[in-house]
Amino acid sequence: MSAILSMRREIPVIVQCTDLQASTRWIDAMRRYGTNVVACVAPADDDEYNGLPLFRHCADALAATKAETCVSIAQPRAAADALLDAAEAGVRIIVSLSVGVPIHDMMRAHRRIGDLGAT
């Protein structure tokens, strides 16, 4: 928790979502509040979304942007896999805004994320 509280505004953040249209309001709100959103990760065929580069996997977004943090806005059944994608790509701080995630999925993801050294 202390790692999240000590974040600075200039830290690059990637936003990971399974549905870009449903996540638009969250992405826009983060940018309005000054979050340094540098890329989006989503299953889409475009190269860009609202002026941000768009990638299909966190590893690609990390390589291109050097982001340190990921905010995941995945649908409940895809949330655990999305978090694991971020952790396995090397993100150290991952924030999930997903609600209704099956508890067994989240327990599995939480254990693996900890094993990978992410928070």
DSSP 30-76: HHHTT--EEEEE-S-S-SEETTEEEESSHHHHHHHH---EEEEE--H
| Whole-number Å distance between alpha carbons of 60 and 113 | 19
**Regarding predicted confidence, which is higher, 61 or 21?**
61
Residue 4 has pLDDT above 50, yes or no: no
Quote the percentage of the chain above a pLDDT of 70: 93
Rounded Cα distance between 17 and 5, Å, is: 23
Q: Tell the residue number behind the tokens 């059944």, with chain if given.
A: 77
Residue range 77-119, pLDDT digits in tens:
999 999 999 999 999 999 999 899 999 999 999 999 999 999 9
Q: Determine the Cα–Cα distance for residues 44 and 110; give it in Å rounded to an integer.
A: 26
CB atoms within 10 A of CB 44: 15
